[in-house]
Structure 1
Amino acid sequence: MLNKEVYISRRRKLKENFKDGLILIIGNDFSPLDCEDNTYPFIQDATFKYYFGIDHNGLIGIIDIDKNEEIIFGNDYTMSDIIWMGKQKFLKELAIEVGIEKFIEKEELKKYLENRKNIRFTNQYRTDNIMYLSSILNINPFEFDKNISFDLVKAIIRQRNVKEKIEIEEIEKAVNITKEMHLSAMRNVKAGIKEYELVADVEKQPRKYNAYYSFQTILSKNGQILHNHSHLNILKDGDLVLLDCGALSDEGYCGDMTTTFPVSGKFTERQKTIHNIVRDMFDRAKELVRAGITYKEVHLEACKVLAKNMKKLRLMKGEVEDIVSSGAHALFMPHGLGHMMGMTVHDMENFGEINVGYDEGEKKSTQFGLSSLRLAKKLEVGNIFTIEPGIYFIPELFEKWRNEKLHEEFLNYDEIEKYMDFGGIRMERDILIQEDGTSRILGDKFPRTADEIEKYMEEYRK
């Protein structure tokens, strides 16, 4: 846990948004794999951990504005727990360590909430939490979302959007572990091994730092599959490996990076050309990001770099502005440029992508590609987010568009077809908007260009 003053300050700041009522924040419980004693790894709800800090299952935090008190409800350890898990600090002791004096058994919560007005809670992503809250609040679970406090959701998003100094340090720690995951893959990749052998090495790295991985590792020679989770292919010289992975620090903060590197240690000329275009897209975005600019604007500028370079390769034609406004470039990059990052890898998207990534009143585009833009709003000091441009040659999408004669005025389908065996390349780094409004890439120095990757692999690969 962090220093208790951090949690006290966070709760105080949240409470300042409301004049009366109470705030209820529910933590996660264990999620059974097949029975209650065999569960998935426990990950605490990020909002509960942000305000209450305790990494334990089955807890509910109360910030009672009317009574001017804060309480954690839960069930403390029993002798059976101690027998199976060993002696641990009691939860009431942990509550004191995060600045809360009152710890009450969970069974008393329903009584505590009786006849209370303005009970504020957020939307939930776990069915068991929806059912539990519905039962103690006497609401229809099928109408649960009609009862959430959108004012509370907005207040939490505003607060968590701006990262504190301690959070930046934790995220940077996670980013550096993430970088070691990527460097280890570059050192250990070789022709003849299965993808899952490389995944095993990647996922071993965070364990060395008492960390975990922040999402399921994406690793494949088929980089055109954006979020590939099958790792059965045998790697061979000439293949590119796309690795998208991240570490979760022991304090619950995430890293998220993507690299694309050659199995042989050397890019082919065609691979290097595409990698350089992706790098140029990244560099243009990094050049633009600052406090006050909208991320949608940054996304579109990166897409213009894509279109300009695809014209040079004779894969596209027409005016760059027209290409991007039409959405024709999305054949090669059908996703957005990035997303918020923090205690979850797509930070706070449990509150709704539109609420987290868009300014109030702004609607998402329905255009293919642009509709997948998770982050569009104006950037501000303290934001942490990803920049992750990519270029992909997706045979199924190519065939669909060509058969439908989509954007024929901008796409040279005969030339594009020659790249259908290419795969895909993505480059992703984690970015902070600093106090002076400028941006910086988080973490230690890391090979980024094709030449730097080749140099690192030549020097360090096993």
Structure 2
Amino acid sequence: MTGAVYQMGSGTLAVPMKLFKDNRNRVVEKFKNINSLDNFAYIFLRGGTNTSFNDTDQKYIFRQESYFQYMFGVKEPECYGAINAKTGRSTLFVPRLPAEYAVWQGRIYTLDDFKKHYEVDEVYYTDNMEKFFHSMNTSLILTLFGTNSDSGLQSEPASFPGIEKFKVNSEMLYPIIAECRVLKSPDELEVLRYVAKVSCDAHKRIMKMIRAGMMEYEAESEFLHYCYKYGGCRHPSYVCICPSGANSATLHYGHANAPNNRRIEDGDMCLFDMGANYAGYSSDITCSFPVNGKFTEKQKFIYNAVLDARNAVMSTARDGISWVDMHRLACKTILQRLKEGGVLKGDVDEMMKSGLHAIFMPHGLGHLIGVDVHDVGGYLAGQPERPVEPGFDKLRFARILKAGMYITIEPGCYFIEILMNKAIEDKNLNKFINVEKFEEFRNFGGVRLEDDVLVRENDVENFSIVPRTVEEIEEFMAR
């Protein structure tokens, strides 16, 4: 491979800086068609900053701001970037470091070092940003401002002392760059394929080593260790979710109040939702399996209901298919299997109308994934709005699938105490439930299967290669 690369070491993936240049060019192509912009309009982005622990002098491990990562691939904090919106000429701004930095933090790289490493057209210090824009006769500065549809948080537009002297537009850039991130380039897909494989291998390693009596956090520790040691993945894509037993009914387990700290008991089902991150790109994979490697009949019943839903979506999803319809397909499949097993009764379509599906699967079927694990582009202007029906209102996007999208498919079936109680008490839901059979699953927990897949014209390609059928899991864990 020629040119500069990001690589963590021998045996890890070499990611070409060309990937980020191509990302910049894709965004610029969108601006070339905007006649109101001249050759002196600039996209201006702010990178991430070092953040301290509250009022201490210790800092969190740095993570680059996502849009800046997408456009520049820069690993250092406190940087800015400018791109001519018509020509694509790129400029990186880096902080001017004091000489003492070299004593504590190591070598101070020159501007030419940054230019070569990140393959940008020019590099200046951040204290020269106003001077740069004046020298370019800048007619318009396009900064990034928008609301993330998952978090509800707003991006912070880039700025510098003196920016008020220029004409600034903070609305135009966000929908364009977010939409560009929805479809992945071949180079991006190579990184995503790599980080998915590293994560899958780590999941398989845990399936081999898990034993009753271990703590949930030991699985988390093993995952983080494996991905870093063998894949060069310093960061996870999100806080590891490692519930066992009844804890697996907690959808986002692993947070500060439930830090993967339960002892795993013999006979438990484990639901391990973990993904590594490499070069800023994410994976998000969930495996559910019995700790002793052998499913009980009850575990097999719920697992196969979820597997059937996953397989139904896998075989149907492709370019041109509605993601909302895929969520409906997954929910109906799970309800049908629960009915066949005697947990439910009545007409499945009527169950769907009542919202019963959201009792068992209260989350959306999946999400876009890329630089962010819950990637942007879900509810941009011109795209379908968020549905309002129970369960469907939790979908992170409601778009028509397009070839080149990279998404998760993650159906689940859970027995969540508060929702079980709601279903029993609600006469519109209770009529579909065989309560005695339903109650047998109280404290069961849940099952989720999550794969990272590429949408193609006629099918999807699954990047998550792990044992999935009951037979595959039992055979793999027995070896």
TM-score by length of 1: 0.88
What is the CA deviation profile of residues 131-161 of structure 1, one whole-angstrom value per residue up to 9, with x for unaligned ones? 863876459xxxxxx9632x32222123221
Aligned amino acid, residue 162 of structure 1? L
| Percent sequence identity over aligned pairs | 29
Q: In the alignment, which residue of structure 2 is the partner of 1:239? A: 268
In the alignment, is the contact (CA less than 8 A) between 2:315 and 2:459 conserved in 1? no
Deviates more, 1:376-385 or 1:313-322: 313-322
Q: In the alignment, which residue of structure 1 is the partner of 2:12? A: none
Deviation at 1:288? 0.6
Distance 1:254 1:328 in 2: 32
Aligned amino acid, residue 418 of structure 1? E
Aligned amino acid, residue 225 of structure 1? T
Deviation at 1:361? 4.7
Aligned equivalent of 1:165, options 183, 186, 193: 186
Q: In the alignment, which residue of structure 1 is the partner of 2:177? A: 156
* Distance change (3 Å), C-alpha of 1:86 and 1:269: same
| 1:346-425 alignment runs, 5 A limit | 346-348=374-376, 353-355=378-380, 360-425=382-447
Aligned amino acid, residue 16 of structure 1? E
**Match of 1:202, SS?**
helix
**Match of 2:61, SS?**
coil
Q: In the alignment, which residue of structure 2 is the partner of 1:283? A: 311
Deviation at 1:387? 0.4
1:297 and 2:322 are equivalent in the alignment: no
Deviation at 1:324? 1.7
Distance 1:297 1:135 in 2: 49
Aligned equivalent of 1:248, options 265, 277, 281: 277
In the alignment, is the contact (CA less than 8 A) between 2:46 and 2:157 conserved in 1? no
What is the CA deviation profile of residues 414-456 of structure 1, one whole-angstrom value per residue up to 9, with x for unaligned ones? 432221121100000110123x43211115x421111111111
Aligned amino acid, residue 411 of structure 1? I
* Unaligned ranges ≥5, structure 2: 1-5, 7-14, 32-36
* Distance change (3 Å), C-alpha of 1:36 and 1:147: farther
1:49 and 2:69 are equivalent in the alignment: yes
Deviation at 1:128? 12
Aligned amino acid, residue 426 of structure 1? R
Distance 1:171 1:33 in 2: 31
In the alignment, is the contact (CA less than 8 A) between 1:76 and 1:105 conserved in 2? yes
Distance 1:240 1:196 in 2: 15
Distance 1:191 1:244 in 2: 19
Q: In the alignment, which residue of structure 2 is the partner of 1:227? A: 252
Distance 1:451 1:330 in 2: 29
| 1:173-322 alignment runs, 5 A limit | 173-208=194-229, 209-211=231-233, 212-221=235-244, 222-229=247-254, 230=258, 231-249=260-278, 251-322=279-350
Higher helix share: 1
Distance 1:427 1:75 in 2: 44
Q: In the alignment, which residue of structure 2 is the partner of 1:3? A: 16
Instruction: Compute the RMSD of aligned alpha carbons.
Output: 2.7
Aligned amino acid, residue 445 of structure 2? G
Distance 1:59 1:295 in 2: 37
Distance 2:219 2:124 in 1: 47
What is the CA deviation profile of residues 34-87 of structure 1, one whole-angstrom value per residue up to 9, with x for unaligned ones? 457421111112221221121110111111347974322221444222211222
Deviation at 1:406? 4.2
1:62 and 2:58 are equivalent in the alignment: no
In the alignment, is the contact (CA less than 8 A) between 1:76 and 1:92 conserved in 2? no
Deviates more, 1:233-242 or 1:75-84: 75-84
**Match of 2:300, SS?**
helix
Q: In the alignment, which residue of structure 2 is the partner of 1:103? A: 123
TM-score by length of 2: 0.85
Deviation at 1:388? 0.3
Deviation at 1:88? 5.3
Q: In the alignment, which residue of structure 2 is the partner of 1:12? A: 25
What is the CA deviation profile of residues 359-405 of structure 1, one whole-angstrom value per residue up to 9, with x for unaligned ones? 72522122221110112211111111100000000011211333343
Count of residues in correspondence between the two structures:
443
**Match of 2:361, SS?**
coil
Aligned amino acid, residue 431 of structure 1? V
* Distance change (3 Å), C-alpha of 1:66 and 1:451: closer
In the alignment, is the contact (CA less than 8 A) between 1:73 and 1:104 conserved in 2? yes
Distance 1:128 1:309 in 2: 41
Q: In the alignment, which residue of structure 1 is the partner of 2:11? A: none
Deviation at 1:28? 0.4
Deviation at 1:202? 1.8
Q: In the alignment, which residue of structure 2 is the partner of 1:120? A: 142
Deviates more, 1:96-105 or 1:232-241: 96-105
**Match of 1:11, SS?**
helix
Aligned amino acid, residue 403 of structure 2? V
In the alignment, is the contact (CA less than 8 A) between 1:278 and 1:390 conserved in 2? yes
1:339 and 2:367 are equivalent in the alignment: yes
* Distance change (3 Å), C-alpha of 1:323 and 1:87: same
